[in-house]
Every structure is written in C-alpha cells, then in structure tokens.
Structure 1
C-alpha cells in the first residue's frame, strides 16, 4: 500500500468521527438553509459550470489504438465551492468540527435536537439521522 493510500484511508477514518457543517452561533436551521440556498444560487450564477471532455487513447498489447476513453468534468467546480464558502463566511458562518455522539453517551437517554445553534462546548455532539441528515444535541439536556 502506498503512503498516499494509507494517508487517504487515515483521513477518511478521522473524517467519519466528526460532523463539519458551516455554523453560526444562534442561527436556526431555517436561517442556515436559506443562507445556504442563497449562497448556492449566487455561486451558480457567478461561476457557472464549464464542462470539459478529455479523450485518451486506449492501446492494445501491440501499442495500437483500439479505442478511446473519455473523462468529463466541470473545471469550475472548485471555484464554485469556494464562492459558496466565501458567501457563507460573509454571512457570519464558519466551518466547524463537531464530534459524533458515542453510543454509550446516548444509550438509555432521550434527547431533542437543538433548534438554535448553540456555542459549541464539550457537551454538544452530532447524531446521524436515518435520513442521512445530522442534528446537534446537548448531552447535558437529556429528556429523562
């Protein structure tokens, strides 16, 4: 296994331990979603897709071209992501790392999702919902 592959696997495993949303203390889910939608629209309008198709020859064992393979990509995708992030930052949001709650922290206890974005403390963690969405809970605010 190459060093790059090992580093990529390590980063993937570490990334699975944290939720990394754009975050603003005091923002509601609705405010966050509206701001995200506005920034997505701004970025789409200012950095539209530029689709490029590259063709590469495919050779056989006699070094004869037997076909071509194509790769299609959007050269503006990175710039568009940067435009969204910059827009969100201008609205007071920043990227944060919130650890996922551990099973032992949740077992036998009921929590409700936080409605406003609180200051991040050691008692705040993220829970992955069956839908794939994430919510934040405060371990100090158990319902039972």
Structure 2
C-alpha cells in the first residue's frame, strides 16, 4: 500500500513539472488578470471571512484508550472562499487553462520575450521558468 502511495505521489510531482494551470482569457494583459484576480479574491474574502474552528482529536494507545488530545485548527470557509473567487473569475469570462512548460529542444539557442497580452492558446504557447517566476512565451516569435 505504501508503495502505491509513493508511486502516486511521484507521478503527481512529474505531472506538475510538465504543465501548469491558471485562469486564462485571451486578449487580457497580465496586469489586468492580476487586477481581476485581486478583485475576485477581495469579494470572496468579504463574502466568506475566515471562520476558524478548533477540533480536539483524541490520541489512542495500543489498547484503544485515550491518552491525550491533538488540537487542530482550520478555516471552514477556505473552500467557499476559493470557490467564490473561481466563480467570480469565470463570470468575468476567464476559464481554467492547462499550459505546458516549454521543452529544452523548443527553446535551445533562442530567446523569447514574455507575452504581455494573453493570446488565444495554441501549440506555440508555453511556459518558461525564470528567476522572477514563470512566464508565457510564443515559440513562433523568437527575438
């Protein structure tokens, strides 16, 4: 059972290295995307403020007797806030997009300018990891 869990965890990490997901709307600038995301996050935070709940989880010994407690705190509105922000972005015309990272052979020896206005997604659009984070580039437009 542990082996299966380890394999699933490794596959998750590998899949996370080949592409990323983000809200996407062709024709929008990265700045506008950030502004819209911030507005949706603020709206969701106002609608679903943090509501911290404390749970006492019993700790059992090998005989099944309670020998202590473990305290867990969590925000029961976290999922609602995330869903509220996502719904707001979708209402604004955004949708989730899965964008692959560029492969070495696609970028070898060439330079690309980061995309500032999100284009329609094609096979030429991919992500690059940079020192300042990940950026989108269009492989059909090298510098």
TM-score (norm 1): 0.88
* 1:65-109 superposed Cα distances (whole Å, 9 cap, x missing partner): 432111111111111111001000111111001100012222211
Secondary structure at the aligned position of 1:56 is classed as: strand
1:100 match: 101
**Greater percentage in strand:** 2
Residue 139 (structure 1) aligns with:
139
1:83 aligns with 2:84: yes
Once residues 76 and 9 of structure 2 are traced to their aligned partners in structure 1, the CA distance between those partners, rounded to angstroms, is 23
**Residue 39 of structure 2: aligned partner:** 38
Question: How many residues end up aligned between the 2 structures?
Answer: 142
Output the TM-score relative to the length of structure 2.
0.89
Corresponding position of 1:26? 27
What do the CA deviations read for 1:17-42 (whole angstroms, capped 9, x no partner)? 11211000000011001000000000
Structure 1 residue 64: deviation in Å?
4.7
Structure 1 position 119 matched with structure 2 position 120: yes
The equivalent of 2:67 in structure 1 is 66
- Give SS of 1:70's match: strand
Secondary structure class of the residue paired with 1:20: strand
